[in-house]
Chain A
Amino acid sequence: MTVRFTSLLTFLAAALVAGVSSATEVGDAVNGAKVFQQCKACHQVGEGAKDRVGPQLNGVFGRRAGVIEGFRYSKSMDRMGNDGLTWTAQTLDAYIENPKALVSKTRMNFKGIKDAADRDDLLVYLRQFSDDPANFPEAEPTATATDHDIDPAILALQGDPEYGEYLAGDCSTCHQRDGEDAGIPSITNWPAEDFVVAMHAYKRKLRPHPVMQMMAGRLSDEEIAALAAYFEALE
């Protein structure tokens, strides 16, 4: 059986009405294996998989981010792991869609897979190499909202740097303007787009840090744009 993540909720709802039938032709591991071709330059999965440029992906579902012994992760990934980021269908989906949305300075230098169906297939494929492969509905929360990517209209917002400067008062209590990043990452001179994408991931609670979820939670789209504009231009 294959399950497409995107339609899982609909599927479950339908299944409640109709009773589970065999007509659940969703998610395609065969296509997923093809999608995985673009990952192969860096990642291995399956028997004998080893860490390469990226970590091996056996057992990735349910694993905390940044925990493979001996693999050198980015500081960003270490932080996210400590904050509690765990790889589930939902977080993997968001990460594969746009790695920087979840882990700003990830070493995974990859633009992301924008096609939701391809991501579903890829996850179905990868899921075979984690425990409990066949059991999507019963396993760890797999139902997921699909598109995590930000509406281009939000990315296109021009922030007001003066407002950003005022709002930045809330950031600079912890994030040092001079770029020092021990204990707390630096946000000075961040590309505006990365900033916006990261803040929206906190706002949607895809990123785990409770302080940041709270701070981002009350910022409007315009306010995030204002902050992004301010920090990008900071001298």
Chain B
Amino acid sequence: MKLNRRHFIGTSAAAAASLSAPMVLADGHGKPRVVVVGGGAGGATAARYIAKDSKGAIDVTLIEPTRMYYTCFFSNLYLGGFKDIEDIGHSYGSLAAGGVNVVHDWAVGVDRDAKTVSLAGGGSVPYDKLILSPGIDFVDGAVEGWDLSAQNAMPHAYKAGSQSELLKAQLMAMPEGGTFAMVAPPNPYRCPPGPYERVSMVAHFLKANNPTAKIIVADPKPKFSKMSLFQEGWANHYEGMIDWIGEDFGGGNVSVDPNAMTVTIDGEETKVDVCNVIPAMKAGRIAEIAGVTDGNWAPVNAADMSTKADAEIYVLGDASQQGDMPKSGFSANSQAKVCANAVRGALTGSKVFPARFSNTCWSLIDTNDGVKVGASYEATDEKIAKVEGFISKTGESADLRKATYEESEGWYAGITADMFG
């Protein structure tokens, strides 16, 4: 089948880009051009590394609609009261100072024959290599009764920023003894321990401010990341507060009513005060528009993150289907550096070193009770394959858990510096 390569996002994205940047013109100075779509964990890192390492030999343009990037990582700690919203916001000023041409706009179309990306604000940007790191969007109809128009009544808070602030405000406004519900997502999704760290942080907040409140989690999965660590922590810190309903008890059979504020789990309807719906996910829409997805995600080659569909287009982070790495900020950052090295090599002939990847995800269960899981990975012909991994153990000493939490703070400072400079 011949792909129709010219596609455009509808008007909603275009309307959202009311603060669009001026027209970007192709300039004719002959340098190779890299366009990066999405200034998150994958895209910001890739743009920064290519600009920094090519020392001006490559023209790097980053297209990102928001002026402040709020990290999803540590957004749960914001819910728990361990961080302020300002702590997790990052502007693009330092990337621009580092030589990246930052354009605040939405990419709405990709013309793979002409090799241009079109912008919501008008105009298009030519590329020699295109890197897409658009993160996730939600699968339509994944949770019965919920769609994006319900995201104010029932926030997902799975893209950080105003959604995180909304969920926090709802949490703070919960009546005494009220109920917080979460609808957890099916695999694969962004940040496997994320929903459960969030449950821990919500419980931490409620324990101090609303101790008779309850948390119900409807989960379509029979088990989840770091499960024994979270369950141990919940029993130790939040005894009796959290009711996790897994697949075996109908946790996957869920519908919600955002007007009535009810959640129905396996036929049983409950009135709730806050409902955090985290639907099934797919690659950010622009990947599909570019025609590089197969099903919900974009299959890529492990050696350089180029897509199976188009050798000039690369997909990083959550949107990619790469094999064994979890969808995390750490993974996206790691993949971005491999990709940056390969793209620079392809465009300037610089040395290309073999791909290697790693990931570690820290989670906070309660004050000074941090845990982690991680692994190293290599590129094989079929996929990014896991080499070796580790996970925190149940029953660890309080000192180690505290050190693990402090380490996560060090990591946060490290990765954000690595992304933005």
Contact = CB atoms under 8 A, between A and B. Distances in A.
B408 A183 contact: yes
Given A170-B356, A174-B411, A211 B400 contact: no
Given A169-B337, A175-B414, A211 B360 contact: yes
Interface string A155-185: 0000000110111011011111110111110
Nearest to B358: A170
A172 B414 contact: yes
Interface in B365-421: 372, 374-376, 387-390, 399-400, 402-403, 406-411, 413-415, 417-418
A161 to B, nearest CB: 12
A174 B376 contact: no
A91 B390 CA distance: 22
B356 A210 contact: no
A218 B388 contact: yes
B2 interface: no
A82 B399 contact: yes
Contact of B403 (A83, A172, A173, A215): A83
A183 B411 contact: yes
B359 to A, nearest CB: 9
Given A170-B358, A173-B330, A184 B414 contact: yes
Contacts of B407: 174, 183-184
B372 A211 contact: yes
Nearest to A184: B410
A218 B413 contact: no
Given A82-B399, A217-B388, A163 B353 contact: yes
A84 interface: yes
Size class of the A contact interface (CB-based, 8 Å): 20 to 34
A53 to B, nearest CB: 25
Contacts of B417: 172, 176-178
B342 to A, nearest CB: 11
Contacts of A180: 413
A175 B330 CA distance: 13
B334 interface: yes
B23 to A, nearest CB: 34
A20 interface: no
A233 interface: no
B372 A173 contact: no
B8 to A, nearest CB: 35
A214 B411 contact: no
Contacts, number: 91
A63 interface: no
A79 interface: yes
A84 B400 contact: yes
A84 B404 CA distance: 12
Contacts of A167: 353, 356
Contacts of A174: 360, 407, 410-411, 414-415
A217 B356 CA distance: 13
A211 B408 CA distance: 12
Interface in B285-307: none
Contacts of B406: 182-183
Contacts of A215: 358, 376
B413 A176 contact: yes
Interface string B45-89: 000010001000000000000000000000000000000000000
A172 to B, nearest CB: 5
A211 B374 contact: yes
A180 B409 CA distance: 12
A55 B360 CA distance: 35
B411 A166 contact: no
A218 B387 contact: yes
A210 B362 CA distance: 13
Contacts of A213: 390
A79 B406 CA distance: 11
Given A211-B390, A215-B376, A166 B409 contact: no
Given A170-B356, A178-B417, A183-B408, A218 B376 contact: yes
Which of B390, B406, B413 has the most CB atoms of chain A within a 10 A radius of its CB? B413
B29 interface: no
B182 to A, nearest CB: 29
A182 B413 contact: yes
Which of A162, A182, A214 has the most CB atoms of chain B within a 10 A radius of its CB? A214
Contacts of B353: 163, 166-167
A214 B390 contact: yes
Interface of B: 49, 53, 330, 333-334, 337, 341, 351, 353, 356, 358, 360, 372, 374-376, 387-390, 399-400, 402-403, 406-411, 413-415, 417-418
Given A184-B411, A211-B372, A213-B390, 10 more contacts: A165-B53, A166-B353, A173-B330, A173-B418, A174-B360, A176-B417, A177-B417, A182-B410, A184-B407, A214-B390
27 contacts: A81-B399, A82-B399, A83-B400, A83-B403, A166-B337, A167-B356, A169-B49, A170-B337, A170-B358, A172-B418, A173-B334, A175-B414, A176-B414, A176-B417, A177-B417, A182-B413, A183-B406, A183-B407, A183-B408, A184-B414, A210-B374, A211-B372, A211-B374, A213-B390, A214-B376, A215-B376, A217-B376
Q: Closest 10 A-B residue pairs measured CB to CB? A: A183-B410, A184-B410, A169-B337, A82-B403, A210-B390, A183-B406, A174-B414, A183-B409, A166-B353, A174-B411
